[in-house]
Structure 1
C-alpha cells in the first residue's frame, strides 16, 4: 500500500501549494466539522486526511480524527483504505496509522506511518505521532520493526538531506530504543544499520552492523557492515570482508557486482571486471551485472561505446533500472550532460555589459577583429537591440560559406556583408512556446534528451527552423529570469539545441538515408559556421545513441565536420572547435583515428 502525494478523495481539494499550510489545514477541518454535523462521516474523513497532509502535527486534526473514530464501531479503521491501484493518499495513510495505534496495533501503525514518511521524508510524520514515545518499545515486535526499516530504506536516499534526517529522527529514536531492548537481535541490528546509514548516523550504523555480523555471521549482516564501513572510508576492510563472504556464498551475484564496483572505484578495473564476469557467467541476464561491466569499462577506457552499450542493454531490458542509474551517473560534461558554454568575443562582451548595464536600448558599439558566428550577435541583439558592430576582417576559410551546398539554411549573407540575414520567418507562437517549455539546460544523457524532444514531433518543420533564428525569450520563472538577466547567450544555445532535437523527430517513419530530418540536420550542420551547426550535429548524435542503424552515418558526418573545423583552425579562430571535438567523443562508432584527433585537439586547446 504505497502512499500517493497530492491525491485526495472525491470531496477533497488540492491543499499543497495554495497558501499557508496551517491555514489550509484549518480550512479543511472546518469543512470536516460541517460534514460531521450532517452525519457524513466518510466525507469528514476525507477533509481530516487533507488537513493531516497540510500539517501532520496539528492537534485539532488529531482531535477530530478521534471524534470520527468514536462515531464508528470499527474505531474508524474502515474510513481509510487503498484505492483500486492499491495505493493510498498520504494524508489518509497517516490517519489510518494513528487509528491503528489507537486500536493498539502498534506494529501495523508504525509500518503504515513509516511508509508515508519514506515516500515523503520532508514532512514531520514521525513528530505527529505522540504514540511513538519510549512506551512503545514493549509493544513492538523486533522482527516487524526490522521489516519496517527495510521497507523505508528502499525509498530513501543514501544519505538523505539534513531536513529529511530531522523529519525521520523519531523513527531513528524508536530504532535506538528497540536495539537497546533487544541487543542480540541480528535482523534488527543489520536492518537498523541500513536505516541509520541513510540518516548519516554512521557510528551507530557501523556498530549495529558489526554486532549483527559477530553474532550470526549472516550474509545480510556482512553486506550492511561492508556498506557502513565503505561510508566511513574503510574500503580495504570492506573488500576483505566481502571477498571472504563470497567464498561461503558464491551464489550471491549482487555481492559479486558490489565487490567489483568497490574494487573499480580504487582504479583496479580489470580485477573488478573479473568479479562482475563471475556473476555474468552464472546469469548472463542479471539486472546489475551486465550494466556494471559496461560502467567499469567506461571508467577504465572513457570510450563512449560503453555508455552506448548501456543504452542498447536498456533497449533489450527496459526493466533493468540499474542501467539507467549508471548512464546518468557516468554522463558529465558538454553534450553528454549539458549544453556547451558559448565562448565568442561577442558573448564575453555581453556578459561584461550585463554586469554594468541594464538590458534595453542602450547605444553600445564594438569592433571585432574577425567575424564570428551570427547566433552570437543574435544573442547580443536580443538584449541590446541597438547594439552596433563593425568587423575588421573575414579570415579564410570564410565562415559565411557553407561547407556543403544544401537546400535548407537559416542564415544567409548578402555579397560582402558581415551580418547574416535570418532566412525563415518567426515561428508559430505555439511552437515557440513548446520549445521554450522543454528547453532544459541539462539532460541525464543524450538518449533521454532525444526522447524528451518527441514532444516537438508534431511541430511544423518551418516553425522549428524559425525558432533557431527567432528564439523565444525565457519564461518568468526563477531559472528563466536568471537566463534573461545573466546568461542570454546560453539561453539561445539551449533553444537551438532543443529545436534541432525536435527536427530529429520530423517524419520519423521515413527511412533514414533519404529522410527529411536527416537532410535538414545535415544542411544545418554544414551550412554557415554557427551555433546551429553543432546543435544540428548533436541532434544527429542523440539519434544515433538510440538507433544503431544510423550510427555509422552519423559518425562519418560528425567526424568530417570536426576535421573541417580543425583544418580551418590553422588559419583562423574557430569558436566551435572545442564543442565539435567534444561531440566527436560523444558519438557512437566514431573511428579511433578521429577520436584520437579530438582528444589531441582538446588537449591543445586546454594548453591555450
Structure 2
C-alpha cells in the first residue's frame, strides 16, 4: 500500500471537511461526524477540521451532546476516537480527553494526535487528575520502543511534556512518578527516569516503583544496581514476570548462568509460562551459542502460538545472522569487482564493462553484475577441478546450461504477473525462518516454471528506498533474496502431497544437488526452513544437506568454493543433524575463514555501514499485503512490536 505524502493527506482531509460541511448544512449530523473522523485520520491539525468540529458541537446543542456522534464502545475507528477526545475536551472532561489521546498514540504513534491547543495549554496541568493521567501513561508507554528513536519523538513530545509537568505538580503521587519514569526513559532522559523512579520508591515502596527503577537504572547504564533493586523486590514478594526480567538482565550482562535459577523457579510452578519458557532458551543460547536453542524457540512458538514472546525473542537472536535472519553475503571475485565499479564515479548503468576471472564462478554472480550493468561481460580463464558444472546426481531440473565456460539460462523467464508477485514478495532479510516461510505462502499458487524461471531471470528490485539502495550498492543481495524466496515458493508447491513423494522435495533436491551455483544455497535455505516448520522432514533434509556439504568440503581442498561458508552456515542451522556433519561444517567454515585475506579497515568499515543501512531499510519496509485467503498464515512476518 502506498503511503500518502503530506500534501495528499492534507488534500484528502480538506475534501472530507467539505463533505462534512454539506452534511452540516442539511443537519445530517451523523453523516458529518463520519466525514470529520475521516478527515482527522488524514490531517489531525487541519484548522478547517477543528472549525467544522466546533460547528458540529454547536448544532448538536453543545459538546456534551455531541459525544454520542463519536461512539467509543466496541470496535472504534481511530478518527472517531480522536474526534471524541476533542469533543470531551470541549465538554470539560479533560481526563477522558487525555485518555483517548493516549489510546490513539498507542495505536499509531506517527501522527501528532497530542499536538492540540487544549492539550498544550499550560492551565491543563492543574486540571488533570494524577490518577487518570497515570492510567493514560500506562496505555502509551508499553507500546513504545525503548528507547524511542529520535525521529519518532516529535509527535509524542506534547504528551511527554504534559506528563512531566503533572508529575512535578503532584510529587507525592508515586504511581504517576513511576509511570512518568517509564515514559521519559523511552525519550532518552535516563537520568530523569532514575530520579522519578527513585522518588516513587521512596514515597511508596512497592512493586511498580521497583520495576520502573530497575528499568531506569538498566537504561542509565547501571545494571548491577538494577539487579539489586529487583532482587530485593523479589525477596519481598515474588513475581514471575519480574523474575524473568531479572534473569534476562543477568544474560545481557554476560552472566546468563546466574539467570537460569530464576527462570527454573518460575517454570517449576508453571512449565508453560509464556515468557519464562522462551527466556530459558534465550539464556541457554547465550551460554551455548549455535542454533539448538533457536530451533527450540521456533518449536515452542509452533506448540504455543499465543506465546508471542518466543517469536519476538527468536527474531532478536536471528537479527542479521546469515540465513537465520538475512541472505548470506556473496564472496565471488566477480562480486568484488562489481562493488569496485559501483563505487567508481565514472561508472554508470550504460557502461560497457568487461572483466576477467581466473576461474569459473557460479553463474548467478553474473546476474548480479548485469542487474547493475546490463552491458557487462565476464570472461573466465580456466575450468577448475572438480568441475563445478557437474551435478551430484541425475537431476530433472536444471537452471543453467553451459556452452564451454559460458553459462546460459536453461529455463524461460517467469510471466510478467509472476515476476511482479515475486518482486513484491522477495526480501533480503526476515524476522525468523518460520516468518520467512509464512511470508512466501503468497507464491504458493505460482506454477513451478515461473518460480524456476525467477532463479535465472530475477526481476528488478522494487522502486522504493531499499530497492534503489540495493541496485546502487549491493545488487547481489537482491538476486540472492529473489532466489531464496523463489525456492520458498517451491517449498509451498502442492503441500497436499506427502513430503517423501512430493514435487517440492524432488525439485528442491535437484536444485540443491545441481551444478555449483547460488541456487544450491537458495534451495538449501528453503529446505532448512521447511525442516524448522515441519519437524517430520528434519532427518531427510539434514541427510541431503550433508551430501552438498561433503561435496563443497571435498572440492575446497583443490579449488576455491565460494558457496562453502554459506552451505556450512545452513548445515549448522540443522542442530538435529548427525554430529559428524555438524563437526565438518564447523571445521570447514573455520578453515575457510582462516584462509581469507584480512580486509583493509577502511573497506570493512564501508562494507559494514552499507550493510547496516540496507538492513535498517529492510526492517522499515512495510509487509506486502497477502492474498486474502492466506492472510492468517502471515501473522508472524514483520510482526515486531
Pair 1:377 & 2:366 matched:
yes
Relative contact order, higher structure (CA 8 A, sep 6+): 2
CA contact (8 A) 1:544 1:588 kept: no
Q: 1:131 to 1:443 in 2, by over 3 A?
A: closer
1:216-295 correspondence runs (5 A): 216-250=204-238, 252-295=239-282
CA distance in 2, matches of 1:78, 1:260: 48
Map 1:432-447; keep pairs closer than 5 Å: 432-447=419-434
**Which sits farther off after the overlay, 226-235 or 53-62?**
53-62
C-alpha spacing 1:474/1:134, structure 2 compared with 1 (3 Å): closer
**In 2 relative to 1, CA 19–131 (structure 1 residues): closer, same or farther, beyond 3 Å?**
closer
1:367 to 356, 378, 396: 356
Written as runs of structure 1 = structure 2, the 5 A alignment for 1:145-164 is 145-164=133-152
Contact 2:119 2:158 (C-alpha < 8 Å) held by counterparts: no
Change in CA separation of 1:445 and 1:195 when aligned onto 2, cut-off 3 Å: same
Deviations 1:193-224 (A, max 9, x none): 11221222323211121111122221111111
Between 588-597 and 319-328, report the one with greater CA deviation. 588-597
The question of whether the paired residues in 1 share the 8 Å contact of 2:427 and 2:478 is answered with: no
Residue number in structure 2 paired with 1:394: 383
Q: Please, which runs of 5 or more residues in structure 2 have no aligned partner?
A: 597-641
Q: Which position in structure 2 is the counterpart of 1:513?
A: 500
1:555 and 1:588 in contact (8 A); partners too = no
Q: How far did 1:39 drift?
A: 1.8
Structure 1 gap ranges (5+): 1-5, 7-13
Matched, 1:203 2:191: yes
Name which of 448, 460, 478 aligns with 2:435: 448
- Report the equivalent of 1:562: 549
Matching residue within 10, 13, 17 for 1:29: 17
Name the structure 1 match of 2:327: 339
Structure 2 residue aligned with 1:79: 69
TM-score w.r.t. the length of structure 1 is: 0.92
Describe the shift of the 1:188–1:468 C-alpha distance in structure 2 as closer, same or farther (beyond 3 A). same
Alpha carbons of structure 1 residues 366 and 107: separation in structure 2 relative to 1, 3 Å: closer
| Maintained 8 Å contact 1:558/1:584 | yes
Give, in angstroms, the shift of residue 157 of structure 1.
1.7
Which of 420, 444, 450 is the aligned partner of 2:407?
420
Q: Distance in 2 between matches of 1:469 and 1:44?
A: 55
Distance in structure 2 (CA, Å) of the matches to 1:480 and 1:271:
44
Point out the structure with max Rg over C-alpha: 1
Cα distance in 1, alignment partners of residues 252 and 229 from structure 2: 17
Report if aligned partners of 1:559, 1:594 keep a CA contact under 8 Å in 2.
Answer: yes
Contact 1:310 1:323 (8 Å CA) reproduced: yes
Alpha-carbon distance, 1:526 to partner = 0.9
Contact 1:541 1:588 in 2 (8 A): no
3-state SS of the aligned residue for 1:413? strand
The CA deviation at 1:573 is 0.8
User: CA-atom RMSD, angstroms?
Assistant: 2.1
Q: What is the CA–CA distance in structure 2 between the aligned matches of 1:410 and 1:368, rounded to whole Å?
A: 22
User: More displaced, 454-463 or 423-432?
Assistant: 423-432
Q: C-alpha deviations, 1:311-332, integer Å up to 9, x for none?
A: 1111111111111110000003
Equivalent-residue separation in structure 2 for 1:137 and 1:478 (angstroms): 42
Quote the residue 1:405 is aligned against. 394
Describe the shift of the 1:592–1:24 C-alpha distance in structure 2 as closer, same or farther (beyond 3 A): same
Partner in structure 2 of residue 477 of structure 1: 464
Q: Identify the residue that residue 177 of structure 1 maps to in structure 2.
A: 165
Contact 2:349/2:374 (<8 A) preserved: no
Matched, 1:546 2:536: no
2:371–2:471: 8 Å Cα contact kept in structure 1?
no
| TM-score where L is the length of structure 2 | 0.88
Q: Secondary structure at the match of 1:570?
A: coil
Partner of 1:3: none
Aligned-pair distance for 1:501? 0.8
Deviation at 1:384, TM superposition (A): 4.5
Q: Give 2:300's aligned residue.
A: 313
Compared CA separation, residues 513 and 243, structure 1 to 2 (3 A):
same
After TM superposition, the structure 1 = structure 2 runs for residues 182-193 of structure 1, keeping only pairs within 5 Å, are: 182-193=170-181
* Residue deviations 1:357-396 (CA, integer Å, cap 9, x gap): 3223x54433322111122223334554554443322121
How many angstroms does 1:181 deviate by?
2.7
Q: Is structure 2 residue 47 aligned with structure 1 residue 56?
A: no
* CA spacing shift, 1:408–1:92, aligned 2, 3 Å: same
CA distance in 1, matches of 2:423, 2:399: 19
